[in-house]
Every structure is written in C-alpha cells, then in structure tokens.
A and B are shown apart, each in its own frame.
Chain A
Amino acid sequence: MYSTKTPKYRIEESDLKCKNGCNYYGNAAWQGYCSVCHRLQQRALEEERVNNLILTHECENISNIENEHRRLDKSKSKMTAFSRLRKLPNKDQEPKVLLKEPNTCTLSDFQNIEKDSTDLLCIINKTTIGNDVIKKITHFLNEIMEYKDSKRIEKLSDITQTFYQNFSKSMEENSIYKDVSIDIKEKLLDYVEKHSMTLLYSILFCPHYTNDEEKDLDIQKRIRQLNWVSGKNLECKIHETSVEVRELVYTSMMDLLNMDAAKAPQEKLACIIHCCSNIFLLLQQSVGGPASADEFLPALIFIVLKANPARLKSNINFITRFCNASRLMTGEGGYYFTNLCCAISFIECLTAESLNMTKSDFNAYMSGERVPANTWESALMICENLHLVCENITLLQELKIENNEILQQAIELKEDIITFHHRITDKTTAAIKKSPLIISKTKKVQMNLDLDNEACLKLPTPLIPNVNEHQYTSQIDYNSLTNQHNLNPVSKKEYSTPSPTFDFSLFEDNYKLESVKGDDNTSLISLDLHSNSINNEFQIPEETASINLLDDLQNNSENLPSPLKPSTSMQQDYHGFSIQGSTIPIIPCNTGDLLFNSNSEEISNNYPNYC
C-alpha cells in the first residue's frame, strides 16, 4: 500500500540524522536531535529556566506580597486571620540549600510526627520490625536523593508509589510482620508515608523544574477574576444570611487554607476532608436535611472560589503524586479529593453557559467592567459588620444570662440565710422547750447521787441537826421538853430490853445534856453503833461519865434542846451484842482509840454534807 503511494517529499537519510550533525539518528519526539544531543539541549534549557526563575523570583515575590496586601485590605477581620495562615509562595526557594539540608526546615514538623506516633514507635522500636522499617525508609530516601537531580517529578512519584506498594506488600508477605495486626500495619504504613514525606517535603513540593508554580499563579489569577461569582450564579443553596451557616462557611474555608500549611500528603488530605464535611454540615442547615452530591459540588466550588487557597495546584499535584495511591482511589478522602479536583477543573474551564448567563454579561464581569451587586465581597462588607453586631449581641446575651444567674444566686443565698435563721431559732426554742434551764440546788443533786450508791441506802437516815441558838431556846425548850416527856415512856420501854452495855434509863438526863451541847461524840456512837468497833461500847460508860461531869458543871439543862431521838431504823438494825458478836472483827485494843478518832474526824468532816 505504501509502495504504490508516491511520496510528496523525498526524505533523505541525512534528514533523519541528528540536527546537531553527529552521526546518530534523530527523532521527532526529541525535536530532531538524537537522544544524547536532546538531553544536552534539555539540560541547557533547564538551567536557563532556573536562572530566570531565580532572577524573576524577587519580583514575583514582591507582586505576591502586593497581592496579599491588597487582599488584606479588602477582606475584614475574619479574612485577615485566614491570610496569616497563608505562606507567601516559595519564599524559601534557594534550591541548592534545600537540596543539601532537607532536614533543617522541617525539623519541628518532623518532631511533631515523632510525637504523634510515639505509641507506634514504642511498639516497633528496637524490634526486627523497627529495624526493617528504618532500613526501608533510609533506602527510599537515598533513592529519592539520587534521582532528585534528574528533574523529573514523574520519576520521583513513581519511586514513591512503588515504595508504598512494596512496603505494604512486604508487610503482608514478610514473616516478621506475621504477628502484626492489620490495624498496626495500617498505622505503620501511615507513619512511613508521613515520616518520609515530611523529610522530603522541600524537595518534592512544588519543585522548581515543574510548572506547578505557574499553574498556581494561573489558578489564583483565575479565581481572583471570578470573585464576582456568587452562590446564586452557581445555583448553590448556601443560606448566606444565617449566622451558623456563615460560621461554617468560614470554618470550611479555613480548613481549605490550612491545607497549604500541612506537610504530609495525608495531612493535606485530612484538611480537605474537614473542609468537605463542614460543607455538608452547612448544606444540611441550609437545605434542612441531608444534602446530596447535586448540592455539594456547587457549594465546594463556591468555597474554593471564595477561599482562593494559596498554591492550590501545587498542593493538588503533591497529593496526587506522593500520597499513597490506594488512599486516593477509595474511601472518604478519595471521594472528597476527587470532588475538589472536579471543582478546580470546573473553575478552570468555567464559561458563560456554566453560569447560565450570556456571554456579554460574563465577559463584562470578567473584565471588571461591571460589578454585580450581590458579590461576596460587597456582601462580606455588610456581613462583616453584621457579623460583628451578631457577635456582640451574643456576647451581651451571654453576659445577661450570667448576670441573671448571679442575681438568682444572690436571691437564693438570701433565702438560704433566712431559712437558716428560722431553722436555728426553731431549733433553739425546741431545745429550750425540751430541756429548760432550771437552776436546781446542788443539795438535791447530791441526794440523788447518794441514792445511786447502794451502800448509802443501808445507812441510817441522817441526823436532823437541831440548830440551837440561844436567842430562841426558850420557845424550843418548852416543846422539846414536852416532846421529851411524851417520848420518855416509850424510850424507857425500849431501853428496858436487855442490853449488856447501854442502860439509857440511867443516863437519860446526861445523854440529853450531852447531845444538847452539840458534841458529836455520843451521837456518833449512836450512829455507828453496829458498824464501828465494839470497843466504843465499852468506852461509852466512861465517856458518859465524863459528860456527866461536864453536865454537872454547866448545869443548865433547861436551855438544852430535846435529846436525840433514837430512830426506829437504828433500833431495828441493832440486834444486840450477842448476835453481832460473831461478826465483830478482833481489833487490837491499842488501835481502838486511833480508829475511833479517825472515824469521828472523818464523819465530822462529812457531816455537813448531810445538812
């Protein structure tokens, strides 16, 4: 077939050779050079490009700073918080330094990773697994360092992806991982990815030999051109006037902006997941029910347009290249990442039709000739103040609630005080009622005390003291005398009972006198008749004799009160000497006096108590 066709141009063999004139064949894919010459050419071009980049970099940075400033002026307090999170693009692009010391700039992040996964490290540390993991990571790092100068990001990406695959494969197949649970394996894979990617971040993120940076600037410019696009244009159902929804809009924007600050690809992915779940939350509040994908995509586009995240393309590319591919294919992260990619590609090829407007309108808006009334910026201006007012109102409400609480508590405290007062008064009155304070004589109390003592019961009734005072003796005398006369016959009878020691009839008068005198001796004898030693009884006659003598001397019996009446109990207790004799202890005669004296002294001391 080819042979029949007459070629229009005759191709000479020399045409197929390398443009450089070396004897090798050239190739159209290498711009007509042979592979060696093409590579040399490429290297020269690359170097030129790098030089240009470094030269123009300063200017770019300045323009970027200007852009940032412009945006700072435009956006209000909330937005400034966001901007602070943004890093100026490629501020630290001094390639040679970075390549030499990849570790220095990421040291703090690196430490954070180590801190985050201490549990895991504890498990694997100093085991065969730990050694294996370290060995694999170092091998991988060396490989990357080896290829980093090849300036082909796809190659580095391939190395990384193969490393992930091999690592997970070896975990499944290698015998040293046999006992490790799936959970730990996942964590280990995660750790390896995080660890190596954080270390290599400065090398792999937005490398100067790719056009990531240009794309970043393109999309940034594009988004800035589209800042007039409102939720209405996108037909997204964000309820912009609601405070909660607006808060969520801000948080999701924050999450998206945070993506640039995160280092490891899965951390960036986590930011996207956060952002998207917040969007779903705000859609739920706006729509009033679970949102679907039809509502989600426009909302995500809206958020991306309004947030305008720094280095968006670089971040997306970094994730696609160096995040574990299986993570991007499946799961929530994969779904949201796909959505974000869709949103970005929608923004990139946004046309008038996709916003349901005429081309002329679209062009007018894009060129900035016309500014729609309902732009987010102008709305933000109003909303920001509104937002401030809302915040203050909520603050005031909180203060009011707090104040009310304090007042309530004060009232409660007051009530407490009153009830406490009532309770105390009630209690005291009840206590007083229950046990009133009666000042009783100590006498009574002591009498009671005696009752407790059984020994006291056996004692004879105490003597009733007859207070003899000379002033009124005459009156008492008469009574006592009559009493005495009345008593006499009885007592005579009593006394006439056989008694070996006492013959009261004999000493009747003397006895009276003796008692009148208030001398305790005799009365004591009568009290202790049965308890005291029998020796006393023998001494009585002598004593009475002496008393008699005293009586004779004084001889004023008329003034004396009536003699002591011998109590009946005493009479009963007294069973006569013969009966008691058996129980009477034998007491030596010489001690008798002492005993008696001591007794009498004791009793005389105790005696006032009985008064």
Chain B
Amino acid sequence: MKKREHIKIVLLGDKMTGKTSLRKRYFSGHFNETELATIGAGFDSRVFTLQDKEYEMEVWDTSGEEKYQSICRMYYRNAAVAILCYDVTIYSTFQKLNYWIGELYKIQESCKIYVCATKLDLLDQYEANPQINFVESYARENGVKFFLTSSKTGENVVSLFDEILDDYISNSQNTPSCTDTIKLPTNKRRWMKQNKKCC
C-alpha cells in the first residue's frame, strides 16, 4: 500500500458564518459527541480508503475575525481545497467571498474552491440575501461549486464533503502526482559550456 495522501481543506469565511459548526456537524456525524469534545477543536481529520489508497482528509478551521485576516494567508498555503462559507441571510458575508477568492487565486492557485451557503434552515423565517439564483450564477462565473447546507439539520453537509473527496480523487488520478524529476541537458557540450561560463 502506498503512503497515505493528505487532503488539506481550509475553511474560510466571515465570523459567525458557521465554519466551526459545519466542521463539527460533519465530524460528529461519524463520531461520538463526547469523543469530539476531547479532540483539539481547530483541527479534524478522517481517513478514507478508496481504491487501495489511503486518503486523510484534514479540515483546518480558521478565525474569521477581520483583524486576523491578513495573517491567515499561512493557513491556506498548500491547501488542496477551500470551503468558503457565507451566511445565507446576510449579504455582507457574501461580499467577503470576493476577497477570499482573490486571495486564493493569488496565493494558492491550485486550490479548489467550494462556496457554501450555511444556515439553510433559517430560510423558513428569513429571505435569502442575496437570492440563491444570483449566487448560483456568481459561482458559475467564477468556476466554483456551490452548495446550500444547514449544520443544524445536517442537510447537504455530508454530500458537500463527499463531493470534495470525489473531485479530489478524480483530479489526482488525471494529473500525475509528482513531476519533480529534473531534466539534465543531454548535450554534453552545452553542459560543459555552461560550466565554463560560471566563474
């Protein structure tokens, strides 16, 4: 069996958008509630074995506070997946998505982005702000996937993570995992020439 592959997922979004709840909903759905309380709260991981290979999905929680945003770049370094959360009823949290997408493209281009509207259960009482249609078109424009979830009811939470895992695996199979071989110049003369030039 090959070495375990890590899938780093980073949760981003404004404060109070339910990042931690989303993570807890997903991981506590599979684990004991009491067990979860003893686990370090900022970090969760699960191991999957698919097609004779082990994948460890790790979710990194981040702080949504504005004053920490500038330093949060460190979190999404090397992240394979980013889940951008916004509150389905609060427009300002949706506006924040622009910032995150820009940041991710700047720093971690290879990172796959999923937009996640949280607190879907609130739609019974409140209007969606912005409209779901608008967000859908926005997602299509930016080439990201869009999910509507509710951590309270558990709606769509598992399917979101399942989709992430499926996408990751199919993606990693299409592209060879490592291309870190260095091609040395085959022409010996050129090689020698280069050496000469160097003082």
Q: How far is the CB of B76 from chain A (nearest CB, A)?
A: 10
Q: Which residue of A lies closest to B28 (CB)?
A: A290
A332–B40 CA distance with the chains assembled, in angstroms: 9
Q: Is the CB of B20 within 8 A of A292?
A: yes
A283–B61 CA distance with the chains assembled, in angstroms: 16
Q: How far is the CB of B69 from chain A (nearest CB, A)?
A: 11
Stretch of A103-111, A340-348, A568-576 contacting B (4+ beta carbons < 8 Å): A340-348
Chain B residues with CB below 8 A from A339, complex form: 42
Stretch of A137-145, A293-301, A407-415, A558-566 contacting B (4+ beta carbons < 8 Å): A293-301
A284–B34 CA distance with the chains assembled, in angstroms: 13
Asked whether any CB of chain B lies closer than 8 Å to the CB of A329, the reply is yes
Q: Which residue of B lies closest to A293 (CB)?
A: B61
A346–B75 CA distance with the chains assembled, in angstroms: 14
| Total contacting residues, chain A, CB less than 8 A | 36
Given contacts A330-B6, A330-B58, A342-B71, contact A283 B41 (CB under 8 A): yes
Asked whether any CB of chain B lies closer than 8 Å to the CB of A307, the reply is no
Asked whether any CB of chain A lies closer than 8 Å to the CB of B74, the reply is yes
B interface residues with partner A (beta carbon < 8 Å) = 1-4, 6, 8, 15, 19-20, 24, 36-37, 40-43, 45, 56, 58, 60-65, 67-68, 70-72, 74-75, 77-78, 199
Between A and B, how many residue pairs show CB distances below 8 Å? Answer: 91
Q: How far is the CB of A536 from chain B (nearest CB, A)?
A: 107
Asked whether any CB of chain B lies closer than 8 Å to the CB of A480, the reply is no
Q: Is the CB of A294 within 8 A of B3?
A: no
The prevalent SS among residues of A at the interface is: helix
Q: What per-residue 1/0 map shows which CB atoms of A271-296 lie under 8 Å from chain B?
A: 00000110010011000011111101
Q: How far is the CB of A304 from chain B (nearest CB, A)?
A: 13
Q: A331-B58, A335-B60, A346-B71 are in contact. List 10 more A-B contacts (CB 8 A).
A: A172-B2, A182-B3, A294-B20, A294-B65, A298-B63, A329-B78, A330-B6, A330-B56, A338-B75, A349-B70
Q: How far is the CB of A175 from chain B (nearest CB, A)?
A: 16
Asked whether any CB of chain B lies closer than 8 Å to the CB of A35, the reply is yes
Asked whether any CB of chain B lies closer than 8 Å to the CB of A353, the reply is yes
Question: Which residue of B2, B24, B41, B199 contacts A36 across the interface (Cβ within 8 Å)?
Answer: B199
A interface residues with partner B (beta carbon < 8 Å) = 24, 34-36, 168, 172, 182, 276-277, 280, 283-284, 289-294, 296-298, 329-332, 335-336, 338-339, 341-342, 345-346, 349, 353-354
Q: Is the CB of B74 within 8 A of A297?
A: no
Q: Is the CB of B2 within 8 A of A342?
A: no
A336–B40 CA distance with the chains assembled, in angstroms: 10
Chain A residues with CB below 8 A from B58, complex form: 330-331, 335
Q: Is the CB of B40 within 8 A of A284?
A: no
Question: Which residue of B40, B62, B71 contacts A345 across the interface (Cβ within 8 Å)?
Answer: B71
Question: Which residue of A24, A168, A296, A341 contacts B74 across the interface (Cβ within 8 Å)?
Answer: A341
Q: How far is the CB of B3 from chain A (nearest CB, A)?
A: 7
Q: Which residue of B lies closest to A345 (CB)?
A: B71
Chain A residues with CB below 8 A from B19, complex form: 292-293
Q: Is the CB of A342 within 8 A of B72?
A: yes
Chain B residues with CB below 8 A from A35, complex form: 199
Chain B residues with CB below 8 A from A338, complex form: 60, 74-75, 77
Q: Is the CB of B40 within 8 A of A342?
A: no
Question: Which residue of A290, A329, A349, A353 contacts B36 across the interface (Cβ within 8 Å)?
Answer: A290
Question: Which residue of A293, A332, A342, A345 contacts B20 across the interface (Cβ within 8 Å)?
Answer: A293
A291–B42 CA distance with the chains assembled, in angstroms: 8
Given contacts A292-B61, A331-B6, contact A342 B42 (CB under 8 A): no
A119–B77 CA distance with the chains assembled, in angstroms: 36
